[in-house]
Structure 1
Amino acid sequence: MNDPMQKEMVRSTPAGPIQIRSFCTPDEIQTYRFDDQFGTHAQYKSIYTKRETLEKHAAKTDANVVLALTEGQHIVGFGVFSHPEADERWTELGPGMMMEVKAVEVSRMLRSCKIAGDMVRFMLAHPKIERMIAYMVGYSWTWDLDGSGMNAQQYRNMLIRLFNPHGFIELQTNEPNICLKPENLFMGRIGNEVPDKLRQDFKWLRFGISP
């Protein structure tokens, strides 16, 4: 562990110890293997199914890729915290001002072991977190309702409980994809050092009005 920003912990689970590691580099990720649990199920497809996708995110400036790893170096969980894509409205607030929790996923067999909470905490232990606006988007068509045994509203509530302790609150927006279904979710966290003008600009931007 050479990066001073990188954090590690070990979570005990019935399947054995799971290492949680933040700020994973592309070179590190190349040495790991994706667990077979990530793939296409009858009614669900994992958000990412290729290690190369995580490598690509990890190579971006400021990105924080958090992994949950078995002793055999299998990836059994991943979280990605990175800047929005260039064509998204959130870039209009200015370079580096917004970062998105793009993914949090844990292997089905380990979802009751609190690994998701560990990964969210590690993702948001970012040195610039108080100088930015962090956000997450929950699209109901990406949720593993079949594997979780929840309906869409229950899953939505679970996500709110996952992010609330870290200062995220539910926010309104007219972003078209989010508005497609009422159960979709948009949450944000405004850092303590974000200036008042940017806070106001973000409020307008949520409704498609450029700062």
Structure 2
Amino acid sequence: MIHQKSYYSIDLESPHGKLTVEGPVSGNELQSYDFHPGLVAFRPPLEQKQAIIGIADLPEGRINIVRDQNTIVGYVTFVYPDPMERWSDAKMENLIELGAIEIAPEYRGIQAGKSLLHLSMLDDSMEDYIVITTEYYWHWDLKGSGLDVWEYRKVMEKMMNVGGLEWYATDDPEICSHPANCLMARIGKRVDANSIQNFDQLRFQNRFMY
């Protein structure tokens, strides 16, 4: 089910000049670029750079980036769900997770995140996948953005909508632990009915609660 990754590139005009939105990029390519010091949402920048290099070299892994000349200023990751999470329980080869999306603070507000998601879905092979993302408020830069949790949630939803991801209900305990958390997904046009049924079963594992 692992499909050939088709490379795409688009230009993004910004106050910083012309940025390049591109991918998927290989681990070697990522290694050759600088990593913006403001990319600190998940790990210290150098550690996060190594983490996405590792994802890029996985068979199913995809890293798309926003680049200001030789510096990565934003990225999005696609990889199989963490084995510790329920989304991997069905071992679906056609279910991948948008695991992280991050834009350096001074490059926000210029449609960089939306451009990343738009580029990500240009690849026709994405029509063979269910793409999910689990949004947790504790990963959001509430302090840096000046937004409250609900304003930030609205911004995240609008950005994900650009990539075709929509809100889906679930009884996953971690998502249900705060009302701003959410599951979003995009079901590709060629995903079969059995896979959609498996995804529905993953979303609701505690039916006795209803």
Q: TM-score, normalised by structure 2?
A: 0.88
Deviation, 1:86, is 2.2
User: Number of residues paired by the alignment?
Assistant: 200
Please give the alpha-carbon distance, in whole angstroms, between the structure 2 residues aligned to 1:29 and 1:164. 27
> Deviations 1:122-146 (Å, cap 9, x if unpaired)?
2233343222211111100010011
Q: Is the 8 A contact 2:63 2:77 kept in 1?
A: yes
Give the alignment of 1:157-168 within 5 angstroms. Answer: 157-168=154-165
Deviation, 1:167, is 2.6
The residue that corresponds to 1:47 in the other structure is 42
The residue that corresponds to 2:118 in the other structure is 121
SS in 1 for 2:14: coil
- Amino acid in the other structure paired with 2:160: F
Deviation, 1:78, is 0.9
Please give the alpha-carbon distance, in whole angstroms, between the structure 2 residues aligned to 1:60 and 1:86. 15
Moved more, 9-18 or 88-97: 88-97
Deviation, 1:148, is 1.2
Structure 1 unaligned spans of 5+? 40-45
Q: Is the 8 A contact 1:93 1:198 kept in 2?
A: no
Deviation, 1:23, is 0.7
Is 1:10 the equivalent of 2:11? yes
> Deviations 1:7-42 (Å, cap 9, x if unpaired)?
112211111221111111000011011112223xxx
Give the alignment of 1:120-199 within 5 angstroms. Answer: 120-199=117-196
- Root-mean-square deviation (Å): 1.7
SS in 2 for 1:181: coil
Structure 2 unaligned spans of 5+? none
SS in 2 for 1:60: coil
Deviation, 1:4, is 7.4
The residue that corresponds to 1:43 in the other structure is none
SS in 2 for 1:84: coil
Please give the alpha-carbon distance, in whole angstroms, between the structure 2 residues aligned to 1:194 and 1:93. 15
> Deviations 1:77-106 (Å, cap 9, x if unpaired)?
111111112232222333422111111111
Please give the alpha-carbon distance, in whole angstroms, between the structure 2 residues aligned to 1:195 and 1:77. 33
Q: Is the 8 A contact 1:104 1:120 kept in 2?
A: no
- Where does structure 1 differ by over 4 angstroms across 4 or more consecutive aligned residues? none
- Amino acid in the other structure paired with 2:79: S
Q: Is the 8 A contact 1:134 1:188 kept in 2?
A: yes
1:4–1:124 Cα change, 3 Å? closer
Q: Is the 8 A contact 2:120 2:163 kept in 1?
A: no
